Structure 1
């Protein structure tokens, strides 16, 4: 399977196609792919779609071994298919060509903060295209295995959308949202101290009255909704033994972050800061506070783990292709 449009390219053997083997250099499939891509070039207003379409046409026209392979598309979402909740002009026509040509489409995005099934439902409505949850790879989708690793550990979970749903779906059983941890430990974020103490009817209390439970890991699914609060509390935890206030000479609490993008494109004319900007701020604060570099396990594009996850997902879900063994022998990075 020759995969084009965005991110990376996969190549499957001709046996993955339901049609009889094709004969290079020209075949029904190669004509179909080139026709579809030319239509995409004519209709898509997004420059990236047109640029990648031309690249694919050159590949299909000049590389004989690829002409006998079934094609697939792996596409980004923000700035490629959508801008905010608006569909980029030309995209519906291009996607209809994919659907009519029975060419598989996988979505890889550095967006997140919602479960994969919710994102698939949203994309299906916006794009008028049947998107399955297994066809969607969010920035934090490869973090699923962390749920097993830290199943019963106290994990702080940060984000600004439905991070609790994501944590539950991934198997975390003893997690706390940042706002809940702050509420239970009202002296950690001074801005909300009085408010939290009043809500607890504990005015006049002392920090020692609220011994924090040891934190074993921090997971950031998407950019937090309260940067000041979360930067302060995360720095407290990361420089400690896991208990804020108990200083450690080394980092003992791991932190896992998705989406290294510094900015993202919304409907506003100037790009907005994304989760990568938050992570950079956290690194700087940790360095200033400890003199050490913060160790972060990073997920999302362009981290190799995200593309490896996509490979394994395609191998697992595309049963009609009958993959056996490693799919990487059919992989071509472009």
Structure 2
């Protein structure tokens, strides 16, 4: 699950299921500047389907920005979104599912960790400051026969020219234990990744060793399904977690222990609110000074625009005030009426309708 945020503060999440954040002070000049509300957009199924904008998302975002001009780093994702949507999105406005992993740097900065998922998960973790990180693909390559069906795989996860796996491991992987495992984005090779993760987690971080205490395991998201370019929903990171957990709990005497930072975890919404507050502090300084008020202001409303009731709406409802959930029919949700189990505050057809509602509600225009 990914966010994009704006102040309006804007927040949206990409599938990278990451959000983009928007804040009210970033609105076009024909609106009086306000700093008391923000918007968080889910990306997949709300702003994009695959790599194609949907639901009038470019027009909606242009109404929010002062100009009309998910396993990758925020800088790259912001550039990618800017090109796809025709608006200037800053890295600070992109909150990806794996963004909270930064908060674990103090604990694992100098420890050997592995990262898995599509894209370049090891690069993502390295850019967060982790000093000793290996991709699961590279790590597995050092253990002969750890993936017993690898010889039958006629596909690769990356072009051979892009692979830089050294012949000799950079770290002593045969004696140094993995201290933590991070699932940064959707794994490409589920079979291999489940096998190797089970080996690492059962052995206390050293495949082939006797059963020991499980090292920490972190997931960037936990959504079962998400809306991509294909007409029906695709299995997400939550599905991979269920598969791993089901197998691990059968072959290991103790159940799988893990932490998922994805929606609907309230941490995601608190983190988005904190980032929006930072955007608010910088972008609303002139507004505050002109009104004789110093510092940032509490948000009266934070809008969560999503397409998945069990993820976006549930998370907003659990987080409580000041979150206001808006459910679109452009992705996972297609119902005529509101969702029965996780009803949103508002149901609309498209993100453009959602933004129109917000602007009318906030500015009476």
TM-score of the two chains, using structure 2 as the length reference: 0.63
User: Does the CA contact (< 8 Å) of 1:145 and 1:170 recur in 2?
Assistant: no
User: Does the CA contact (< 8 Å) of 1:148 and 1:171 recur in 2?
Assistant: no
Seen in structure 2, the aligned counterparts of structure 1 residues 231 and 94 have a Cα distance that, compared at 3 Å, is same
Deviation at 1:89, TM superposition (A): 4.1
Match of 2:125 in 1: 167
Alignment of 1:70-149 (within 5 A): 70-99=36-65, 112-149=70-107
The number of residues matched between the two structures is 266
* Alignment partners' CA distance in 2, 1:77 and 1:17: 19
Higher share of residues assigned helix: 1
- 2:169 maps to 1:179: no
- 2:258 maps to 1:296: yes
User: Does the CA contact (< 8 Å) of 2:26 and 2:64 recur in 1?
Assistant: no
| DSSP-derived class of the 1:190 partner | coil
Match of 2:199 in 1: 236
Post-superposition Cα deviations, 1:78-113, rounded to whole Å, max 9, x if no partner, equal 11111111111422222222225x8xxxxxxxxx20
TM-score of the two chains, using structure 1 as the length reference: 0.69
Match of 1:270 in 2: 232
User: Does the CA contact (< 8 Å) of 1:146 and 1:170 recur in 2?
Assistant: no
| DSSP-derived class of the 2:218 partner | strand
Match of 1:36 in 2: none
Deviation at 1:185, TM superposition (A): 1.0
The unaligned stretches of length 5 or more in structure 1 are: 19-27, 34-67, 103-111, 202-209
Higher share of residues assigned strand: 2
Seen in structure 2, the aligned counterparts of structure 1 residues 187 and 292 have a Cα distance that, compared at 3 Å, is same
* Alignment partners' CA distance in 2, 1:247 and 1:221: 27
User: Does the CA contact (< 8 Å) of 2:199 and 2:207 recur in 1?
Assistant: yes
- 2:185 maps to 1:222: yes
* Alignment partners' CA distance in 2, 1:200 and 1:328: 50
| DSSP-derived class of the 1:237 partner | helix
Alignment of 1:16-27 (within 5 A): none
1:311 to 246, 253, 273: 273
The unaligned stretches of length 5 or more in structure 2 are: 1-6, 14-18, 154-164, 168-172, 286-293, 302-320, 325-365
* Alignment partners' CA distance in 1, 2:47 and 2:122: 27
Answer with 1 or 2: which has the greater Rg.
Answer: 1
Post-superposition Cα deviations, 1:57-92, rounded to whole Å, max 9, x if no partner, equal xxxxxxxxxxx8644322111111111111114222
Post-superposition Cα deviations, 1:154-211, rounded to whole Å, max 9, x if no partner, equal 101101112122011111111111111111111321123799xxx999xxxxxxxx94
User: Does the CA contact (< 8 Å) of 2:12 and 2:95 recur in 1?
Assistant: no
Seen in structure 2, the aligned counterparts of structure 1 residues 162 and 6 have a Cα distance that, compared at 3 Å, is closer
Structure 1 runs, 4 residues or longer, greater than 6 Å off: 1-8
Seen in structure 2, the aligned counterparts of structure 1 residues 193 and 211 have a Cα distance that, compared at 3 Å, is farther
Post-superposition Cα deviations, 1:277-330, rounded to whole Å, max 9, x if no partner, equal 111111111100114221111112221111111122122233133574895798
Seen in structure 2, the aligned counterparts of structure 1 residues 282 and 263 have a Cα distance that, compared at 3 Å, is same
User: Does the CA contact (< 8 Å) of 2:10 and 2:93 recur in 1?
Assistant: no
* Alignment partners' CA distance in 1, 2:323 and 2:270: 12
* Alignment partners' CA distance in 1, 2:185 and 2:247: 19
User: Does the CA contact (< 8 Å) of 2:102 and 2:128 recur in 1?
Assistant: yes
Q: How well do the aligned residues superpose, as a CA RMSD in angstroms?
A: 3.7
